[in-house]
């Protein structure tokens, strides 16, 4: 018991050093003072961000105080559970790890099979978002002709959303008996997951003359609920040929703002990849690129989900596909730090 308590005390001390509750208390006072300014609520988006920041910091301080109290009262099981959950944050030290995320899934080769697999992944991640208590909204979705989805893009809002979800970027492979084939043949399908941080107050230069805006009418599945006005947008960045579409918002202005936000994130990603490639040229080993296969989900002839980067695996793929992916994320964070 003494050894366990000593170990937990050390871990809690590391968490306190990471969270810095006293510095956060000072920041809370400063931000709360801003909320009393007469024009604070005029910019609703900024005001919401400030309130979220205040609430997140207050929760971190409350959690640390609770862990310290539980440790004093020798409630080892409870405090160990809380410390283990918080310990993962020690691995989330990237510049934008605490940001919200732009999360996309794209069907790979394989036609209807791949589109159905993309739909299964979307369901898995939505369940994971709900388990984490994160909020999300659709930005763009292209349904498949027969089943599933060709692609989907979502904004995900939650503490350390980008830090967690960046671990999922890459190609996901499914092996199963085909539900679309009368002979139930074994089929392999692929889908690509892309993750970008939602970047705010960060200088990404975008010139108006480099942007090509196109507007069209958005609609739901099978042509349902087609708008009578052209609210959907397609934005092309001419120098890089990056194309972004957004059609889920009700107004053209909202879709324009969202598309521009995604474009800036993609431009940031390009710069990061250039920098990592340059650094990687001086190293013997480089990290896997965003497009490489990271995980296999096998439903037939046996049942297993295996992460190819960490070798972490589960023999309960149904549980994983119901959103239980945090163990895979934690394993990756621990090995990549």
pLDDT at 324 over 60: yes
127 vs 272 pLDDT, higher one: 127
Average pLDDT, rounded, for the chain: 85
What are the chain's domains? 2-91 (1.20.58.410), 101-198+294-336 (3.30.70.1660), 208-280 (3.30.160.20)
Confidence of residue 221 (pLDDT cuts 50, 70, 90): very low
Give me the mean pLDDT over the 136-160 stretch.
Answer: 90
pLDDT exceeds 90 at position 46: no
| pLDDT tens-digit readout, 163-192 | 999 999 999 999 998 888 767 778 899 999
Highest averaged pLDDT of the listed ranges 29-43, 170-184, 238-252, 263-277: 29-43
Q: Residues of 110-122 as b/e, b for ≥16 C-beta within 10 angstroms?
A: bebbbbbbbbbbb
Tell me how crowded residue 294 is: count the other CB atoms within 10 A of its CB: 21
Cα separation, 162 vs 152, whole angstroms: 17
Kindly report the pTM of this predicted structure.
0.75
Cβ atoms < 10 Å from Cβ of 37: 9
The tens digit of pLDDT for each residue in 296-313 reads: 999 998 999 999 999 999
Residue 115 has a pLDDT of: 94
Residue written as token pair 């609210």: 231
């Amino acid at each position: 018991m003494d050894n366990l308590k000593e170990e937990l005390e050390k871990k809690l001390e590391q968490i306190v050093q990471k969270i810095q509750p006293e510095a956060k208390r000072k920041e809370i006072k400063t931000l709360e003072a801003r909320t009393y300014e007469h024009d604070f609520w005029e910019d609703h988006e900024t005001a919401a961000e400030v309130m979220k920041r205040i609430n997140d910091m207050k929760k971190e301080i409350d959690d640390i105080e609770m862990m310290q109290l539980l440790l004093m009262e020798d409630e080892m099981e409870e405090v160990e559970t809380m410390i283990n959950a918080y310990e993962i944050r020690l691995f989330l030290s990237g510049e934008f790890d605490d940001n919200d995320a732009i999360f996309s899934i794209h069907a790979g080769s394989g036609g209807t099979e791949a589109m159905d697999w993309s739909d299964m992944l979307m369901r898995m991640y939505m369940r994971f978002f709900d388990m984490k208590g994160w909020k999300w909204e659709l930005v763009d979705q292209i349904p498949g002709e027969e089943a599933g989805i060709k692609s989907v893009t979502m904004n995900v809002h939650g503490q350390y959303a980008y830090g967690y979800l960046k671990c999922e970027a890459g190609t996901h492979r499914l092996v199963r008996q085909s539900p679309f084939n009368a002979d139930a043949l074994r089929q392999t399908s692929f889908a690509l997951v892309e993750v970008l941080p939602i970047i705010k107050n960060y200088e990404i230069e975008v010139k108006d003359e480099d942007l090509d805006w196109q507007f069209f009418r958005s609609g739901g599945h099978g042509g349902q609920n087609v708008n009578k006005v052209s609210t959907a947008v397609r934005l092309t960045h001419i120098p890089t040929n990056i194309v972004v579409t957004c059609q889920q918002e009700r107004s053209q202005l909202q879709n324009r703002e969202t598309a521009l936000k995604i474009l800036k994130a993609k431009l940031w990603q390009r710069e990061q990849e250039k920098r990592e490639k340059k650094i990687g040229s001086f190293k013997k080993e480089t990290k896997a690129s965003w497009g490489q296969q990271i995980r296999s989900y096998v439903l037939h002839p046996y049942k297993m989900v295996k992460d190819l980067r960490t070798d972490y695996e589960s023999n309960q793929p149904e549980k994983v596909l119901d959103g239980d992916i945090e163990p895979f994320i934690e394993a990756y964070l621990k090995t990549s730090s």
